[in-house]
Each structure stands twice: as C-alpha cells, then as structure tokens.
Amino acid sequence: MNTQNIYNSNKDKDKNINLNINLNTNSSTKVKICGLTSPVEARFLNENHVDFAGMVLFFPKSKRNISIEQAKEIMVALDASIKRVAVVVSPSIEQVRQIEEAGFDYVQIHGEIPQTKAAIAIPILKAFNVSDMDSYEKYHNDSRIAGYVFDAIEPGSGKTFDWRLVDNIPRDEKLLLLAGGLNPDNVRMAIEAVHPDGVDVSSGVENDDRAGKNPEKIHDFVAAVKS
C-alpha cells in the first residue's frame, strides 16, 4: 500500500474514533520526525524548525536502520536546536554506551531497558504500543525516564491506534509523545484528541514509495501542528 492510500484509510479510521472533537491546534506541540537515513533529510528538518530527530539503530529488521557512523553524519547536518534521538529495541548496555559516545541527546527504547548498575548517561524516552501499555506503571517512577512515546502495535507501520487508550495513562511532568500512523491530514485531530506534548511521525512524511522523507510532507505536517 502506498503512502497516499495509507493517508486515506487512516483519515477514515480517525474520523470514526474522534467524531466530536474541536480541530483547533495547540501551537506549542513539539514535533519529532523519526527514521532519518541521510544528511539531506536533516536539512528538511532544519528548514521546518523541528524539535526532535529520530534515528533507528541496531535494528536491521527496519528499512530505516542505519549505522552509528551514518547517524553521526546526520547529526552534524542538524541544527543545534534539534534534539538527537537514538531509537532502539531492547538494546544491550554496550549499544547504549555507543549511543552516548556518539552524542545523542536521548535514547528511545522499545522493549526492555538494559539492566545495569551503572548509570545511563542520557535521558530515556520509553516507547509503548497497544500491546504493552499495561507496563507503563513499571516505568512511571523510574527517574531515568524523561518521557513516553505511545505508538501503534507495529512501530513505523503507518497504522494508527485508538487514541482513547492514552486517556488511561496518568499525566505527569514527563514528556508525552504520540506516534502511530500520524500524517499531515490527521495530526490536528490527534492533537485535540490526546493533547500530547509532542507528535512523532515517520512513514507519514515519507515518499509514496516509502523510500526516504518527503520535504513537502514534512512541511505540511509541521504546518498542521503549528497552525
């Protein structure tokens, strides 16, 4: 299925979930673009004053997976104001150390956080999906956790989930990012339904063949969030 078809199918789902919401946006909502694969894409983020840039590491199953060396090249191309986020799945402590040494600002962890007596030197964004939201309490009081990312059951799939599930999550001082099937057409609705601190997009701003980020879609996504 191409990106446009994903957009259309997700718009219908989102309308069914949120029939009566007000579409006024919150201009302070932060934007995270995830799955960068080249320095060229970093420039798209710079032009649109994005807040966070995510890069997938140590997960070869993902077509967006890149090496630490590639990530360093992307980070050099990013404006200093954009926070660098390493996105990983159940990493080893050795992988976390490589992420720290590379200069990332955050590590976003899907799955398990490595058990270690030594401190993890950068803040953690703990990712949850529809199947493991019940584990939220396990991490709620963990001082290493700077925020949460709530995603669909298949991160990076372009699929949405029922945003009402986030209503059961107690709000605290930590960052709450909403992900999962967001795109320029539905992100305003998502913001008003969930009132997150930020929104996270990957496939929703990719080219129609899902090969690389599309500058026009990034512009339209950010414009929809910030308007």
Catalytic residue among 34, 51, 197, 200: 34
Catalytic residue among 151, 197, 200, 220: 151
Q: How far is it, in rounded angstroms, from Cα 54 to Cα 152?
A: 17
User: Is 105 a catalytic site residue?
Assistant: no
Residue 111: phi and psi, rounded to 5, are: 85, -140
Q: In angstroms, what CA-CA distances link 47 with 13, 42, 53?
A: 31, 9, 13
Sign of the four-CA dihedral 218, 220, 223, 224: negative
Q: How far is it, in rounded angstroms, from Cα 170 to Cα 180?
A: 20
User: Is 162 a catalytic site residue?
Assistant: no
Positions marked catalytic? 34, 151
